[in-house]
Structure 1
């Protein structure tokens, strides 16, 4: 193998393009911070990143190792230490440590930069496109408001609590999916592909937030009254808190992050990425069906609760589909221009292949 081909393979298999997306976003964050005199902030200030990030890694590894050790030791507790060493030898050789930590590091860089860029939108671009997006929605829905249609179809009682739960489940879904791709699965080619696709989601999502700022129907003056009939849920509390955060940041640049931005819907976009990716890697049927069902529920929830316009949903679907394709091209998971899961590196032990999530 030539030196050029070897370098390309290393970049493809070790999150080179995810790191590139993260570094580009980090540079943009620093530049926009300097221009607009905005501080760069830890997106989750409750627990500092230098504590939280190692905890994420160690917790995921513990969940991968401990149940296996306990199961093997169930009939011979005194053999716990031997089984512990055996599982670590099987599951966590140096090669996989480097793979998992590298992927999680690239993911966290993208996440941190994305949250800061999203927060800077009101200072970078003061335009708001909600009026235009609301008009496009009514044209596409034959002079009906999509959120009102959802309320008429599902009612405004128990459905509000159900869709609120769907929205909050999604919040946990992204880190869980990353953990599955990097920690629990041994398909390194699939893991690199998926993490890179999510990195592209965040990078392009941040770009569109900056170019076409929107707030979403729940904050839009012409539609806000549609959501007052909904019962109070965790979603209501979150919507109010996010608005308070935005007002506080616009009054004081040193306040916390504001996270209101609607186009495209990354709830929809990342769910589309997950669903399309699972189709390409031929995941088990029940996994794919479950993912598509949750995708549909996510689409409905985002409009029902007023987080996104229908145009945002369409944008999210297009974005999520594109990033899977782009990440396939970037990570070598392709046949020509057609995405296809590549073979695992030859050095990956055969027994580790049996632990893969995909068929």
Structure 2
């Protein structure tokens, strides 16, 4: 019991800022809902309720961590009997999932989801709280930066509006799957909990800072403020998504209680860019393999182009997103003990790791077992 309580306290300390941010956002959400007479909704109730979906996601990630190792060891030992498989299952669970890592994963998942759910609700409330529209100002800044031209029009002229549209749509949609996957990697598959806590806390800060900017500088984005300049793009899944989000916004603005959904349109700053910046910086600072770092930076560059090309954001939103993502990494590094000022000080000892085995590893794998033949 004492070991379990100690593991819980350690996990709570690792995610203390994520919990504080989530709690502050929850309070802000409730206050805004009361003042503006707005509903608070499950952000993804069109799929499964959160109290069902979140445990399923965590369970699936844990299963994906355990099952391949069980099957690999069964193949190495040439044993497929149910009793033997059960023994291998307990062996892998004992190695990979001590109580400390259970508490780490659970704490991080709940803290992150609290910030995500409140972020979605506050984002939906933003146009009710602040009815200003900064689209013209953002568009003017963009044209100034591009010598009087609209950036999206420049990109359409450079890259064309055929194959490039489908590629950019794929990049933008792929980002949606990347975020929960990266959270699963940080909480479930890595054994270096110091790095995992850094990343999860940084994403929580991304959501929080994004909320503040949406409330202060509400914008729609070029595709909604000036849809004519995107009329020549072929219809893709991205088009369907943009049309669906606008339908949701119209319904919410007309009657938020009857809409039974959230509106999610807000341009400044770009969180697609911001969270990708967070991913790139954390990957670099914790020392992930170079091919992973390069892949992250390439995907960030593609995301920057896609978000302007498709009309989701202004170029100034991109700059805002880059700054937002960098600030989140810095603050999260300080809060999780991974930074002192601007110097990286990533913990590599057992104090920063839920699992004493391979505490130095950022990409996890099972430790060698007797069934792995030693080199002669």
TM bucket, shorter chain: over 0.9
Corresponding residue for residue 167 of structure 2: 162
Shift of 1:344: 3.2
Shift of 1:14: 2.6
Q: Residues of 2 paired with 1:319 and 1:348: CA distance?
A: 29
1:356–1:231 CA distance, 2 compared to 1 (3 A) = same
Shift of 1:355: 5.4
Q: 2:274 is matched with which residue: 269, 272, 279?
A: 269
Aligned residues: 350
Q: Is the 8 A contact 2:213 2:269 kept in 1?
A: yes
Matched, 1:77 2:80: yes
Corresponding residue for residue 239 of structure 2: 236
Corresponding residue for residue 250 of structure 1: 253
Q: Is the 8 A contact 1:262 1:312 kept in 2?
A: yes
Q: 2:207 is matched with which residue: 180, 199, 202?
A: 202
Corresponding residue for residue 49 of structure 1: 50
1:280–1:139 CA distance, 2 compared to 1 (3 A) = same
Shift of 1:12: 7.7
Q: Is the 8 A contact 2:348 2:359 kept in 1?
A: no
Matched, 1:353 2:354: no
Q: Residues of 2 paired with 1:344 and 1:126: CA distance?
A: 50
Q: Under a length normalisation based on structure 1, what TM-score does the superposition of the two structures give? A: 0.94
Matched, 1:171 2:172: no
Corresponding residue for residue 319 of structure 2: 314
Deviations 1:38-60 (A, max 9, x none): 01000001211111111011011
Corresponding residue for residue 60 of structure 1: 61
Shift of 1:66: 0.6
Q: Residues of 2 paired with 1:123 and 1:69: CA distance?
A: 52
State the 4+ residue runs in structure 1 displaced beyond 6 angstroms. Answer: none
SS in 2 for 1:123: helix
Q: Residues of 2 paired with 1:194 and 1:345: CA distance?
A: 19
Which structure 1 segments of 5+ residues have no match? 1-5
Q: 1:333 is matched with which residue: 310, 329, 338?
A: 338
Corresponding residue for residue 144 of structure 2: 139
Q: What do you get for the CA RMSD once the two structures are aligned?
A: 1.7
Shift of 1:11: 7.6
Shift of 1:197: 0.3
Q: Residues of 2 paired with 1:291 and 1:191: CA distance?
A: 17
Corresponding residue for residue 14 of structure 2: 14
Q: Residues of 1 paired with 2:236 and 2:304: CA distance?
A: 18
Q: Is the 8 A contact 1:200 1:327 kept in 2?
A: yes
Corresponding residue for residue 3 of structure 2: none
Q: Is the 8 A contact 2:162 2:233 kept in 1?
A: yes
Shift of 1:200: 0.4
Corresponding residue for residue 155 of structure 2: 150
